[in-house]
Amino acid sequence: MESGPSLREQARRVIRGLIITGQMQTDQLYSVPRLATELGVSATPVREALLDLAREGLLEPLRNRGFRVVALSSKELNDIFAIRVLLEVPSVADIARAGLAPPQLAELRELAAATKRAADASNLIEFLETDRMFHVGLIATLGNKPLTELVETLRDRVRLRGFKNASGREYIAQSAAEHFELLDFLSKQDEAGAVAVMRRHLERSRQVWGEGNGA
C-alpha cells in the first residue's frame, strides 16, 4: 500500500474487503499490529481504519485485545433486507420519475462497466467495492445525504456473512448485468421496469447472503 494522506482510507477499504469476502472470521481476534504487518503499513492508519469500521457496525472492539468481526444472525440479516427494500425500492421509483441528468447517467454507466469488468475477472473484492459505489452513487442522485449514508451502511452490514461459495461467481455476473438493465429503465424514466429490476436485485442478493455466500 502506498504512503500518503489516504492510508487510513486504503486500510479501511482493504479490511472491509477481507470482512465481506469472509477472509476475516467472526471467531477470530484481530490485533492492530497483526493487520498492520499483513498490510505493510504502520499501526496508526490501521487502528483508525478499524475504529471507522467499528463505528459502521462491522467490527467489535475488545479493550486491550483487538477487534472481532460482528456476527450477524439470520433474523438480523432479514431485518436489514426488509429495511433496504423499504428504502431502496421507493428511492429507485423517485429517481425514475425525476430522471437522471446525462452526466449522472454517464457516471453510473461507468460504474456499471467497472462492476462487469470485476465480475468477468472473478475479482470479488473489486466487484463488491464497485458494486457499493454504483448503488450508493445511484441513491446519491436524490441529494439526500442521510439516506445515502444509511443505505451504504446497511449494504456493508449485510455482507458480514462473508462471500465464499463458488456460486458467488454466477451471482456477481448476474448482478453486474442487472446494473445495465436498471440504468436502461431509468434512462427511459420507466418507473415500473426500474422498480421490478431493483426488487429482483435485492431479493436474489438476500438469498445469496442469507446462505452465507455473498452481495
Full pLDDT tens readout for the chain, 215 residues: 444 448 898 898 889 888 877 788 888 899 999 999 999 999 999 999 999 999 888 899 998 889 999 887 888 888 989 999 999 999 999 999 999 999 999 999 999 999 999 999 988 878 888 998 999 999 999 999 999 999 988 887 776 655 555 456 788 899 999 999 999 999 999 999 999 999 999 988 877 765 544 44
Residues whose CB is less than 8 angstroms from the CB of residue 48 and which lie 6 or more positions away in sequence, other chains included: 8, 11
Q: Is 22 left (phi over 0), alpha (psi -120 to 50) or beta?
A: left
Residues 76, 70: Cα–Cα separation, whole Å:
12
Its sign, for the CA torsion 192, 197, 200, 206, is negative
C-alpha closest to that of 194 among 93, 102, 115, 107: 93
Looking at residue 4, its pLDDT comes to: 45
Residues 19, 25: Cα–Cα separation, whole Å:
7
Looking at residue 159, its pLDDT comes to: 67
Looking at residue 168, its pLDDT comes to: 66
Looking at residue 19, its pLDDT comes to: 83
Tell me the whole-structure pTM to 2 decimals.
0.77
